[in-house]
Amino acid sequence: MKKDNNLLPVLILMLLPSTAVFSGLILLNSIFATYILFYGVVCIAVPLLDRVVIRRQTMSEFFRFIGFRNIRKSLLPGLLVGAVFLTAIYLFSLIFSRQLIDTSTMTTALDRWNLDSGNLFVFLFMMIVGNSILEEIYWRGYVFSRLKTLTSSRNTVLLTALFYTSYHLITTVTLFSLAQGLLLSSAIFLVGVFWAYLRIRFESIIPAVISHLLADLGLMLIYLKYLAV
């Protein structure tokens, strides 16, 4: 594999998600604009443009580059880790719901982003299925594979987790208080480190995709319990 020799393009790639989320949620106040900017442009179009159009990889080569490999040995670990995440997230919400969930503040923010019962199914699908797959393709797949040609595995894990956390800070601080947002973002950073570890351990993004999907399912169960109308 030809190695990159310039960190700047990869740094820009790591900053793109925060830019997209800030533009969609804060500047445009639209969750659907965020879908287009973040999922459509950043997570899908950018990797395909780079690897398939510019570097002329086949789709098979592209999927191997981002880590869709070793599927059989990766499925069970992903399911087991995901089941732990789902259970822990839901139990945590039951125990600390009074301290964490201010339905008035959160509903106001979600209304401002044009999320209502009319588009609930799309929201749930994107946050459970789309989010888990596309975030992992971008972070533990595309960016991870680009970055590891420039620096050590340790730095790759930490940097992908740090920049992965950066745009979650935007949403957590908006939906919760500053202190709660920082606390939750710290937990997201640790999860990002763990998913990057899984990427290295199994030489695949499959465990991260599956466990991420189940973790997001847990979060959406909380949303349905406390916030959905």
Q: What is the pLDDT of residues 102-148, one digit of tens each?
A: 888 888 888 889 887 778 899 999 999 999 999 999 999 999 999 99
The reply to whether 2 falls in a domain is: no
What is the mean pLDDT of the segment spanning 66-74?
Answer: 94
pTM, to two decimals: 0.93
- The tokens for 147 are 């970055």
The reply to whether 1 falls in a domain is: no
Domain hosting residue 131, numbered range: 7-226
Q: What is the pLDDT of residues 178-220, one digit of tens each?
A: 999 999 999 999 999 999 999 999 999 999 999 999 999 999 9
The reply to whether 109 falls in a domain is: yes
* Total tally of structural domains belonging to the chain: 1
